């Protein structure tokens, strides 16, 4: 009997990501996996299981904790880490502030988003990580569209978009000099919809924040934010209760919610497929300020 040996797009993306993780594990001695508690890094964990089980992961998880996380994110993180039996390293932005490495922003629009870069780079240096696996996707933002899967960072943790290594076939070059590191993005070729479809296909549990729930929110710059202790309201802003869900999960101070009544994965997928606004455009205040916001942050060493 002839078989067609077809492979679906989701499985093809999975094959690629697993291959990337295994290459990284061979190419670098001290990698870590950046775990934010967001859906992309949750998918990374599943892919790491596919790549390395029944052995342990050849890297710890690194969480850059801004101190402004949703409590649901931290609960999820701790539960997942316990289930997997893997090592978690937490790098805290509060520590960086206390040590004087960074200065807390002030004012009602203050965010610790930008400060994370220093905390991350310090952690990479302290722990002597020579690679960090991230969940970034090329479809998220234009500056990412040209970033390599194995993306080189110099000794200052910076990305040089004009001077990237050519990346051919699936032959990744993970070589670095002392003090430099690699960022590795196994989900480069995934879209937001792929991530959701894969979560459904693999039946991966998610933090409840991703599904529609009642929450106290206020509106700012046309976006809904969760009412939270780290943010001061501007004149005219009022707290109200809405049914919302989050499309991305970052800091409480800069991650917007969308009005939605999608309470199941199927409903979320239907919404994502129909969405008319990008994930970051809809919910991330950090990308809205300047035309090249992301590109600037990435050069400095952001995720």
Partner 1 sequence: MSDASDRPPERPNDRLDERLSERLAASRRPVVGVADDAELLRFSTAGSVDDGKSTLIGRLLYDTKTVFEDQVRHVEDVSRRRGDERVNLALLTDGLRAEREQGITIDVAYRYFATRKRKFVIADTPGHIQYTRNMVTGASTASLAIILVDARHGMVEQSRRHAFIASLLRIPHLVFAVNKMDLVDWSETRFEEIEDEFRNFAARLDVQDIAFIPISALTGANVVEHSRDTPWYHGPTLLYHLETVHIASDRNLIDVRFPVQRVIRPESAEFPDYRGYAGQVAGGVLRPGDEIVALPSGLSTRITRIEQLGQDLDAAFPPMSVTVHLADDLDVSRGDLLCRPNNQPIVGQDLDAMVCWMSERPLAARGRYAIKHTTRWGRAVVTDLLYRLDVNTGHRDEAAPELKLNDLGRIRLRTTTPILYDPYRRNRMTGSFILVDEANNTTVAAGMLLAPE
Per CB under 8 A, which region of 61-69, 187-195, 204-212, 243-251 contacts partner 1? 187-195
One of 94, 164, 227, 228 touching partner 1 (CB under 8 A): 164
> What b/e readout covers 283-292, taking b as 16+ CB neighbours within 10 angstroms?
bbbbbeeeee
**Nearer Cβ to partner 1 (9/232):** 9
CB of 103 to partner 1, least distance (A): 27
String of contacts with partner 1 for each residue 200-239, x by CB under 8 A: -x--------------------------------------
* Interacting residues with partner 1 between 123 and 162 (CB under 8 A): 138-139, 142-143, 145-146, 152, 161-162
How far apart CA 255 and CA 285 sit, in angstroms, is 7
* CB of 122 vs partner 1, minimal distance in Å: 24
Under the binding rule (CB under 8 A), the answer on residue 19 touching partner 1 is: yes
| 82 near partner 1, rule: CB under 8 A | no
Kindly tell me which of 92 and 191 has the beta carbon lying closer to partner 1: 191
Nearer to partner 1, 229 or 291 (CB): 291
199 binds partner 1 (CB under 8 A): no
Contact 133, 59 (CB under 8 A): yes
Residues that bind partner 1 in the complex, under the rule CB under 8 A: 3-16, 18-19, 22-23, 25-26, 49-56, 138-139, 142-143, 145-146, 152, 161-162, 164-171, 173, 175-177, 188-189, 191, 193-194, 197, 201, 269-270, 273-278, 281-282, 291-292, 295
């Amino acid at each position: 009997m002839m078989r067609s040996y077809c492979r679906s797009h989701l499985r093809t993306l999975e094959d690629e990501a697993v291959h990337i993780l295994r290459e990284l594990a061979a190419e670098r001695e001290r990698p870590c996996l950046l775990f934010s508690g967001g859906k992309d890094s949750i998918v990374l964990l599943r892919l790491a299981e596919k790549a390395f089980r029944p052995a342990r992961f050849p890297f710890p998880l690194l969480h850059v904790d801004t101190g402004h996380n949703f409590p649901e994110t931290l609960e999820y993180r701790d539960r997942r880490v316990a289930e997997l039996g893997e090592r978690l390293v937490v790098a805290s932005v509060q520590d960086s502030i206390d040590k004087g490495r960074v200065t807390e922003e002030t004012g009602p629009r203050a965010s610790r988003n930008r400060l994370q870069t220093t905390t991350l780079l310090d952690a990479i240096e302290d722990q002597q990580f020579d690679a960090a696996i991230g969940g970034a996707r090329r479809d998220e933002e234009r500056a990412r569209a040209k970033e390599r899967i194995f993306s080189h960072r110099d000794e200052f943790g910076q990305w040089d978009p004009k001077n990237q290594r050519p990346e051919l076939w699936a032959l990744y070059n993970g070589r670095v000099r002392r003090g430099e590191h690699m960022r590795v993005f196994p989900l480069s070729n995934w879209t937001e919809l792929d991530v959701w479809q894969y979560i459904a296909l693999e039946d991966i549990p998610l933090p409840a924040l991703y599904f529609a729930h009642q929450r106290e929110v206020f509106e700012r710059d046309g976006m809904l934010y969760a009412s939270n202790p780290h943010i001061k309201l501007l004149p005219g802003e009022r707290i109200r209760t809405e049914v919302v869900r989050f499309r991305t999960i970052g800091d409480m101070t800069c991650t917007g919610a969308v009005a939605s009544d999608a309470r199941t994965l199927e409903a979320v997928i239907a919404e994502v497929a129909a969405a008319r606004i990008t994930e970051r455009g809809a919910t991330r205040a950090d990308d809205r300020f300047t035309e090249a916001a992301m590109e600037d942050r990435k050069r400095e060493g952001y995720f």
